[in-house]
Amino acid sequence: MTKYRMAANGNDGSLWAVNTTQQSLRFLGNGAIQPETSQAITCVAVANVDTIYGLGPAGDLYRLVDTPLRPVPWDPIWHAAVAPDGGVWGVDDHGNIFQWANSDGWQPRPNGGANALFIAVGNGGDAWTIDNTSGWWGGPGAPYRWNGTTFARVEGAPDAQWISIAPDGTVWLQSSDQRTLRLDGNTWRVVATDTPRLYGITAGNDGLVYGWDVGLLYVLGGGVWQMLDTPGIVNCVGVAADGTLLVDGQPPVRLAGFSVYERLANFPQVLDVFAIDAHRMYVLDVQANRYLEWGGSTWQRIAGGNLASISVGIDGTLWGVDANHAVFSFNGSDWQPVPGAMQKVSVGSAQYIVGLDPAGKLFFFDGAWQPIASPTAGPMLDVAIGSDASLFALDGGHRLWTRIAPGDWAQIGAVPLQQIDAADRYHVCGVTLGNGGDNSVWTGAGVAVGADPRLHRYFRSAKLRAG
């Protein structure tokens, strides 16, 4: 069971949560939930996919940053492939196949007569290649599989354009006649027909398969390939068991939220991507002709403090409160005191900051704290404001209220919540009240759509599965 403390989101679709074991969790658009294990975190604040802060158990401030790339000693090789268990195989540009033996380097393996310009690798040394007839990377050609002694032709298999082995060992094949197949025992099962002329595919667990061709990205779902939006031209894709999606494009990006991609800074032009998990990925540096390893992101401490919660706006404005209800703003290097006493602050931007005082009353900050009329009598439990001034609050009964100018407060939704965060009126999240056991991360949106009272607001919510 998972018990969530809080959730926070950005207006680009990035969504994070923190659980009671002090794990920070990234929610991906492919349904995966990734724990960020580099530092214990008690609170997270999200402006967007590039600006994410966290608090450590002592109240110190951290920011999520990329780790550096480092070379791996796989030279010289034309193309390599990395298995989820770390096994590495490679091919040269003459059709020869090699297996990496760590201190002993590359060891030749008989190719069985295949012109191998491609290699796919699974756990336990399960390696596949294609007897290439085109003279270019991939296929088309007959599939060959390593039998422990040599590569041998796989009888009954269709000509392949590309092969991918999922972390769970499932073998997927993109055929040259535009079909997508899965190996079931000794039988090839057709999963999709009329497949786009994909250049390559990459398979994760549970039937999650991506494909790419001519700069486009596709995903397989329900037996149909669907094209996805990406921020650049796609050259190659890798997906891991934990849902990590690394896209070798221009620029290289990683899936980091609901249809939002994180641009990877300081990356060279790359080709070949292999995602083992969120903290272990490999790419081929095209210009230097060498493979590099990337360790994902990490929490980097940037300031001390004794804070209990933080909030960041779309413009990077960062505020926090401590356990004694003192309020602070961050100037880029230090925390500066702000007059007043609040148990919680929420920042939409430098212009939109609200607070909840120790008595549960709402306030707006415009250089001083100005009172806001509450939607109900009695103390409020939480408050959040978006970058568009949309205002959300939880009353004592854990009911959610919204006020979107120029309208008044209106109750929305029927899910009892214990915490709320808002990037704008379209990106709202929180955690459910729970029943003493697990609870859920929750997302929704409250939107003013017109003057007609019947259409004045609508609300939608979705319960995300517990991790």
Q: What is the DSSP code string of 159-179?
A: PEEEEEE-TTS-EEEEETTS-
Beta partners for 26? 16, 34
Residues 451, 320 within the same domain? yes
CATH number at residue 395: 2.120.10.30
Residues 320, 453 within the same domain? yes
Nearest Cα to 214, choosing from 236, 238, 239? Answer: 236
Residues 202, 228 within the same domain? yes
Residues 292, 307 within the same domain? no
The C-alpha atoms of residue 382 and residue 433 are separated, in whole angstroms, by 13
Final residue before a domain boundary, out of 296, 314, 346: 296
432 with 442: CB under 8 angstroms? yes
Residues 308, 282 within the same domain? no
Domain count for the chain, please give it: 2
Final residue before a domain boundary, out of 296, 315, 338: 296
**One-letter amino acid identity for 32?**
A
With a CB cutoff of 8 Å and minimum separation 6, the contacts of 305 are 55, 59, 60, 61, 320, 322, 328, 335
Residues 46, 178 within the same domain? no
**pLDDT for 465:** 34
- SS3 for 35? strand
Residues 327, 445 within the same domain? yes
389 with 406: CB under 8 angstroms? no
Neighbours of 4 (CB within 10 A): 25
**pLDDT for 434:** 78
Residues 266, 307 within the same domain? no
Helices (H) and strands (E) in the chain, counts: 0, 48
Residues 200, 285 within the same domain? yes
Tell me which H or E stretch contains 253: strand 253-255
Residues 253, 123 within the same domain? yes
The rounded Cα 200 to chain-centroid distance in angstroms is 22
Which residue range forms the structural domain that includes residue 266? 69-296
Counting as low any pLDDT under 50, the low residues of the chain are: 448-467
First to last CA, the chain: 8
**One-letter amino acid identity for 456?**
H
**pLDDT for 436:** 67
**pLDDT for 462:** 34
Final residue before a domain boundary, out of 267, 296, 325: 296
Q: Using CA of residue 171, residue 172, residue 176, residue 180, what is the dihedral sign?
A: positive
Pairing of strands 106-109, 280-285: unpaired
Residues 82, 190 within the same domain? yes
Residues 437, 314 within the same domain? yes
Predicted TM-score (pTM) of the model is 0.90
Neighbour-count burial for 436-465, b at 16+ CB within 10 Å, e otherwise: eeebbbbbbbbbbeeeeeeeebebebeebe
